[in-house]
Amino acid sequence: MLIAFLGMMTIHAQKVKASNNKPNVIVILMDDMGYADTKPYGSVGYETPNFDKLANEGMRFTHFYAAQAVCTASRAALLTGCYPTRLGVGFALAPWDKTALNPKEETIASVLKNEGYVTGMLGKWHLGSKAPFLPTHYGFDTFYGIPYSHDYWPVDYKGNPVPKGTPNDWRGNCPVLPIYEGDTQVGTIPTLEEASQLTTTLTEKAEQFITKNKNKPFFLYLAHPLPHVPLAVSSKFKGKSGAGLYGDVISEIDWSIGEIMKTLKKNGIDKNTLLIVTSDNGPWLSYGNHGGSTGGLREGKGTAWDGGTRVPCYISWPGKIAPGSVSNQLMTNMDILPTIVAATKAHLPKEKIDGLDFLPLLTGKTNKSPRDLFYVYYDLNNLKVIRYKTWELVLPHNSQAYSQALPGKDGTPGKVPHVNVPMALYDLIHDPGTIQDVQSQYPEVVEEIMKYAELAREDMGDALTKRIGKNNRQPAKMQ
- Please pick, among 63, 71, 174, 313, the residue that the annotation labels catalytic: 71
Q: Are 250 and 279 contacting, i.e. CB atoms less than 8 angstroms apart?
A: no
Rounded Cα gap, residues 62 and 223, in angstroms: 21
- Please pick, among 63, 126, 224, 290, the residue that the annotation labels catalytic: 126
- Burial class (CB within 10 angstroms; exposed 0-12, middle 13-18, buried 19+) of 225: buried
CA atoms within a 13 Å half-sphere pointing along the CA-CB vector of 116: 14
CA angle in degrees (0–180, nearest 5) for 121-337-130 = 35
Q: Are 67 and 380 contacting, i.e. CB atoms less than 8 angstroms apart?
A: no
Q: Torsion-angle region of residue 438: left (phi > 0), alpha (psi -120 to 50) or beta? A: alpha
Pairing verdict, β 177-181 and 184-189: antiparallel
Q: Is 313 known to be catalytic?
A: no
Distance of CA 135 to the CA centre of its chain: 15
Q: Length of the chain, please?
A: 479
From residue 372, give the alpha-carbon distance in Å to each of 64, 140, 239, 355, 390: 12, 32, 43, 12, 8
Measure the CA dihedral 383/478/336/388, to 10°: 0
Q: Are 279 and 34 contacting, i.e. CB atoms less than 8 angstroms apart?
A: yes
Rounded Cα gap, residues 384 and 373, in angstroms: 14
Q: Side chain identity at 260, as an amino acid letter?
A: I
Q: Are 357 and 342 contacting, i.e. CB atoms less than 8 angstroms apart?
A: yes
Q: Are 31 and 277 contacting, i.e. CB atoms less than 8 angstroms apart?
A: no
Beta strands in 226-339 (DSSP E): 273-279, 313-316, 325-327, 331-332
CA atoms within a 13 Å half-sphere pointing along the CA-CB vector of 270: 15
Beta strands in 339-409 (DSSP E): 373-378, 382-388, 391-394, 397-400
Q: Are 35 and 293 contacting, i.e. CB atoms less than 8 angstroms apart?
A: yes
Under DSSP, the state recorded for 403 is G
Rounded Cα gap, residues 330 and 475, in angstroms: 28
Rounded Cα gap, residues 269 and 318, in angstroms: 10
Distance of CA 227 to the CA centre of its chain: 13
Q: Are 22 and 115 contacting, i.e. CB atoms less than 8 angstroms apart?
A: yes
**Catalytic residue IDs:** 71, 126
